[in-house]
Structure 1
Amino acid sequence: MSTTPLKIITSIILLVLSLTACNSPAAISGTLAGLEKENTKIYLIQPETLQQVAASYLGKVIDSAIVNADGSFEFQNLPTTKEPVLLELAVQPTNKAGNYLNSDNPNKANYMPIVWQSGESFLITARFNEFQKTFTIENPSDLNSALLAVRDIKAKAYQTYLADKHWNVEDGDELMAKEHATLQYKSALMEFADSTPYLLPALVALRWVSPENDYERVPEFLVNQCAKWKEKEADHPWVKQLCKKSEPTNLPVLIGDKFPDIQFPLLSKDTVYIKDVLGKKLTIIDLWASWCAPCRLENRKVLVPLYNEYHDQGLQIVAYALESDEAAWKAAATRDGADGWLQSSDLQGDDAPFLKKIRVRTIPANFILDSNGVVIAKNLHGQDLMNLVKGSFEK
């Protein structure tokens, strides 16, 4: 049986295409050093929503590769998209799922975000046990250079503020020191997000600020990020998700907002509205509880001295206690000397309606208001709070 010339030509073309495909470089490939065992896998993960970025078990695994004995690996199964897409590469040191991401310690983080576009080829190197810390890309794009930069910023901030620190959280001073150090760490990432011209690296920094997706202590950061990217890339689905999360009904009262004129039930059994008890100069709305160690220290070391020195000059303090036991509340206020200022509670513990109205879940917390009831600062404690109050009265 003879073969027609057309069939021969077709077979040759198919063979050439097959050989070309087999010899073409992988879209993402690299070498992993320091392997602990054979047949280690590396995974390619695609976050499908903003919340899935840098979040464990949420991103979609789109490919995996066995790391060869010489440490080499390669991926071929990449998304078909013309737009830049954020992906995450992750190695699994244990029998964890492919999309497990360790964000607790940058020195040991097992994943690294990258931005990939169709037609690009990546050559990657990293060490197995320090994957994020040692991750490099040969000739990275501007977007990936920005991701490597924020990775370095995060690592440096962690080393400066959090590494090898051991706080006794039952001690009020140490708990507040831990919160302050954590805020300093987050501030480095927030500064990057505010300054970078690149959306996806900014959103990675935003998610690294809180992999737990809790921005209660830094809601103004979310609002600023929404405003920035809504102006530049309003149609990006992750920008829309960011702006949804930063809506006022989802966040605590913000700096610059007028504090809600809420009615307070006082320890004295009277009720007052905020607008009727504002200080002539400043008002501190203080959220505390008898069982909150740092709150009790703040009462004695900060609020009592400030109140004694500046109340007659126009400082007001209105405290709201997360209490369910009136006797315990009254005893704590008396013992701390905090019964000199207005004390309020609905005696519903953590289910307090006041907290729901101002959308706060964590104490100690405070809002500092000007004479018109506008929030000029919040969540300042210790020396920071004392400096603000003294500066307001002594300038």
Structure 2
Amino acid sequence: MKHSIIFVLVFSLFVMSANAQIKPGDQLPKLTLTDVSGKSMDLQPIKGKVVLVDFWASWCGPCRVTNKKLVKLYEKYKIANLEIVGISLDKDKSKWLAAVKKDKITYMQLNDPEGFEAKSAIAFGVEQMPASYLFDAAGRLVAINPTEDQIKNEVNKKK
């Protein structure tokens, strides 16, 4: 009997987490988060733009390395049709802001200060970082943790 109850609980958790994670073809979730100036911003598709949503935190070493790569990618492709939205899961706003400044991030930065329990992390199914999600110009998810080539290919697609 104990094994049956444990199985049901584990299976229920698996189903709930599977339903929370977005899948290719899904639309960009609608969320409202705070930007670096403290203003509430809606996360929504940017008409005609490819959007890369990147989850990170100031304390995550691999995230900080990725930030440097994304800064260069953004500088190269922002004129085309690429937008990058960084979502920090930092609980300490001052550490997040210091990392944004140190990493010289110029693309949109938002904060969801509840860590992996944050609404945005749950909506996207973030279980580790860095984690990124590539949306096409119509706002549909086309890749999870895309390569740089996948991002470039999506940006360079003919409209």
Which structure has the greater CA radius of gyration?
1
Map 1:340-359 to 2 at 5 A. Answer: 340-359=106-125
* Residues 250 and 318 of structure 1: CA distance in aligned 2, closer, same or farther (over 3 Å): same
2: distance between equivalents of 1:293 and 1:263? 26
1:390 aligns with 2:152: yes
> Which residue pairs with 2:25 in the alignment?
256
* Equivalent residue for 1:318, pick from 74, 77, 85: 85
Instruction: Look up the equivalent residue of 2:33 and give its one-letter code.
Output: F
Do residues 335 (structure 1) and 102 (structure 2) align? yes
Look up the equivalent residue of 1:345 and give its one-letter code.
N
SS at 1:320 equivalent = strand
Q: Return the offset for 1:355.
A: 1.7
SS in 2 for 1:299: helix
Partner of 2:135: 369
Segments of structure 1 that go 5 or more residues without pairing to the other structure are 1-47, 53-212, 214-240
How many residue pairs align between the two structures?
152
Change (3 A) 1:278 1:324: same
Deviation at 1:348, TM superposition (A): 3.1
Q: Call closer, same or farther: CA 1:305–1:281 in 2, change over 3 Å.
A: same
TM-aligned CA deviation for residue 247 of structure 1: 6.0
Rate the CA distance shift 1:257–1:247 in 2: closer, same or farther, 3 A.
farther
- CA deviations over 1:306-327 (Å, ceiling 9, x no partner): 1001111110111111112222
Give the whole-Å Cα distance in 1 for the aligned partners of 2:153 and 2:102. Answer: 29
Distance 1:319 1:305 in 2: 14
- CA distance in 2 between partners of 1:249 and 1:389 (Å): 25
Q: Which of 289, 305, 319 in structure 1 is aligned with 2:72?
A: 305
1:369–1:376 Cα contact (<8 Å) kept: yes
- Aligned-CA RMSD value: 2.7
Tell me the distance in 1 between the aligned counterparts of 2:142 and 2:21.
14
- Name which structure has the greater RCO, CA cutoff 8 Å, separation 6+: 2
Q: Deviations over 1:39-67 (max 9, x none)?
A: xxxxxxxxx77x97xxxxxxxxxxxxxxx
Normalised to the residue count of structure 1, the TM-score between the two structures is 0.35
Tell me how far 1:361 sits from its aligned partner. 2.9
CA offsets, 1:20-45, max 9 Å, x none?
xxxxxxxxxxxxxxxxxxxxxxxxxx
How far does the alpha carbon of each residue in 1:330-356 deviate from its partner, in whole angstroms, 9 at most, with x for none?
A: 111111122x01111133334423223
AA partner of residue 326 (structure 1): K
- Structure 2 counterparts to residues 26-37 of structure 1, below 5 A: none
**Structure 1's 317 and 391: CA in aligned 2 closer, same or farther, altered over 3 A?**
same
Q: Percent identity?
A: 28
Query: How many angstroms apart in 1 are the aligned matches of 2:133 and 2:38?
Result: 24
Deviation at 1:389, TM superposition (A): 1.7
**AA aligned opposite 2:150:** L
Indicate whether 1:268 and 2:30 are aligned: no
For the 8 Å contact 1:279–1:315, the answer to whether it is kept is no
User: Structure 1 350/248 Cα, relative in aligned 2: closer, same or farther at 3 Å?
Assistant: closer
